[in-house]
């Protein structure tokens, strides 16, 4: 910054905060496995925390996806992933673990009835890169959120990617 110049203000995003969640299931023995009680525990946890939940994937390899919108959407999504992991482990006696991703960004109105997603990485694609038991955070909205405890991840994504450690 030049002497005597005013600091440049950080531009706030225009639009509603949003977060997309994608999670997968694996066995604590390191094999791909899923049990119906794990899927139901995940769906119940996410829906109970206000997410719009969708079931995707196949019978053998189900994927649970969820969306959060509004104030602190990324924090609510991160909290939901931690609660979901706990509930799935409890429902399966620690035999099934959750891995996945939360991508946070903004919904920007383009014209009546049309919105555009800004700074939102594809949560499903990011979840595929998560190690067993790991939750990845993608998108630029995390930079503004101080209540999420994370570590930077070394990935070749254009936007920052971190590993969720917890909430402060």
Q: ∠ CA(149), CA(153), CA(156), 5° rounding? A: 145
Token pair belonging to 158? 């254009």
Residues 39-92: tens digit of each pLDDT = 999 999 999 999 999 999 888 889 999 999 988 888 899 999 999 999 999 998
- For 16-167, the fitting CATH number among 3.20.20.240, 3.40.50.1000, 3.40.140.10, 3.30.70.1230 is 3.30.70.1230
Residues 5-21: tens digit of each pLDDT = 555 444 555 678 888 99
Alpha helices in the chain (DSSP H): 36-48, 73-91, 123-127
pTM above the 0.85 mark?
A: no
Domain range list for the chain: 16-167
């Amino acid at each position: 910054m030049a002497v005597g110049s005013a600091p440049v203000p950080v531009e706030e995003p225009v639009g509603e905060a949003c977060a997309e969640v994608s999670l997968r299931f694996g066995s604590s023995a390191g094999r791909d496995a899923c049990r119906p009680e794990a899927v139901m525990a995940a769906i119940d946890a996410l829906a109970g925390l206000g997410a719009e939940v969708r079931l995707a994937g196949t019978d053998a390899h189900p994927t649970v996806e969820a969306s959060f919108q509004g104030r602190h959407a990324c924090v609510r999504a991160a909290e939901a992933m931690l609660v979901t992991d706990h509930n799935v482990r409890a429902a399966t006696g620690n035999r099934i673990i959750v891995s996945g991703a939360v991508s946070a960004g903004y919904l920007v109105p383009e014209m009546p009835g049309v919105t555009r997603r800004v700074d939102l990485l594809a949560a499903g694609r990011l979840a595929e890169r998560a190690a067993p038991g790991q939750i990845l955070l993608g998108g630029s909205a995390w930079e503004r959120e101080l209540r999420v405890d994370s570590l930077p991840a070394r990935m070749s994504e254009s936007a920052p990617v971190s590993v969720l450690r917890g909430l402060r």
